[in-house]
Structure 1
Amino acid sequence: MDDRDAAIADALEALHMNQQAIRASTEEIALWLRARGSENTFENTMMALQALDTNAEVIASVIEQLRT
């Protein structure tokens, strides 16, 4: 792995960790809202979080490719 690939992988890994943190906090808020009767908001949020999950898998795959 050259320095450029390492730098890109490091940057993507930091973004990936931020994305995971945002996902976790968003899910916590959605669960809090659900407990207070906002089932529709909870369902909408969970659907949006599925997109984050899909994108997180792609990002993780690219990081792995760059590190090999």
Structure 2
Amino acid sequence: MQSDSQSNVAAADALTLLLHNQHALAAAIEEVTRWLSANGVQAVADNAVMAMETLDTNAKAITEAILRIRRS
């Protein structure tokens, strides 16, 4: 059985990987958004921007959780 410390490290590591995924998804959506804007599909680009804002908000919350777990 893992100790609380080991469990915290594992949880923080898993959240860190999820955070990296958040950043990768945001970068991909940003590229698609640029293409959409350049090709006159502004309404869809605007929706993509809203998705990126959600990713950013959630990334901040994940970062805070990682920091709390790593401090405990």
Compare CA radii of gyration and give the structure with the larger one. Answer: 2
Partner of 1:26: 29
Matched, 1:44 2:47: yes
Unaligned runs of 5+ in 2: none
Q: Which 4+ stretches in 1 moved above 2 angstroms?
A: none
Identical amino acids, percent of aligned pairs:
40
**TM-score, normalising length: structure 2:** 0.89
TM-superposed deviation, 1:52: 0.8
Q: RCO greater where, 1 or 2, for CA within 8 Å and sep 6 or more? A: 1
**TM-score, normalising length: structure 1:** 0.94
